[in-house]
């Protein structure tokens, strides 16, 4: 069970990176900085003050940019591959007790995939919002995604197993609706 929880935590943080790239990394870094979240030794930099300043700045800029209707679509072009990379990073950073090949394998396959699926879902949802509201509904979508990223990252740190079950259930439900 002690090996499973870091894997679930990593996958849940990766899912949060699918909503917003930098906010989940910032939350993980803050939790590590405060001693609430252990990080793999090669990812200890995530909890350092310079990293937190950089992640905080990036998170504020990213969140703000998503509230500009034309800029949110342009940002999705960059955010999609970046979310996958952030998901991998978040997943690998918290799997402290796994050997590096296994940690990276799970991070790349699991974390990258989960982040990609969540990011892809948000891109499609924003496209539908633009189609049906002419872009006027996009700030509401952006607010929901930000709440999702922050809430999911916080819950991932507090109760990772529940978050993974919820994410899998929501993604499965969304896929069945199509």
Boundaries of every domain in the chain: 4-177
Report which of residues 178 and 152 the model is more confident about. 152
Cβ pair 67, 27 in contact under 8 A: no
pTM: 0.87
Residue 176 CA to residue 30 CA, distance in Å, equals 36
* Mean pLDDT within 137-164: 87
- Of 122-131, 133-142, 154-163, where does mean pLDDT reach its minimum? 154-163
pLDDT at residue 109 is higher than 60: yes
* Mean pLDDT within 20-39: 96
What backbone phi and psi angles, to 5 degrees, belong to 174?
-65, -40
Tokens of 126: 């924003």
Best CA proximity match to 47, nearest among 26, 75, 78: 26
pLDDT at residue 1 is higher than 50: no
């Amino acid at each position: 069970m002690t090996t499973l929880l870091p894997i679930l935590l990593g996958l849940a943080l990766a899912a949060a990176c699918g909503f917003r790239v930098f906010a989940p990394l910032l939350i993980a870094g803050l939790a590590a900085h405060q001693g609430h979240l252990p990080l793999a030794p090669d990812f200890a930099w995530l909890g350092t003050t310079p990293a937190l300043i950089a992640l905080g700045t990036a998170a504020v800029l990213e969140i703000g940019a998503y509230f500009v209707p034309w800029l949110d679509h342009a940002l999705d072009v960059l955010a999609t591959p970046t979310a996958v990379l952030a998901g991998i990073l978040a997943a690998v950073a918290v799997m402290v007790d796994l050997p590096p090949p296994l940690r990276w394998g799970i991070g790349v396959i699991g974390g990258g995939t989960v982040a990609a699926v969540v990011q892809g879902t948000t891109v499609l949802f924003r496209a539908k919002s633009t189609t049906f509201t002419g872009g006027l509904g996009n700030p509401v979508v952006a607010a929901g995604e930000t709440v999702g990223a922050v809430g999911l990252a916080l819950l991932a740190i507090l109760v990772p197993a529940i978050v993974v079950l919820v994410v899998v259930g929501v993604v499965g439900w969304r896929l069945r609706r199509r």
